[in-house]
Amino acid sequence: MPTPVNVAVIYYSSTGTIATIAKAMAG
Domain spans in the chain, listed from the N-terminal domain onward: 1-26
The per-residue pLDDT for 4 is: 86
Residue type, 17: T
> What letter does residue 27 receive in the DSSP assignment?
-
Say whether pTM exceeds 0.85: no
pLDDT in tens, 1-27: 779 888 888 877 778 888 888 888 888
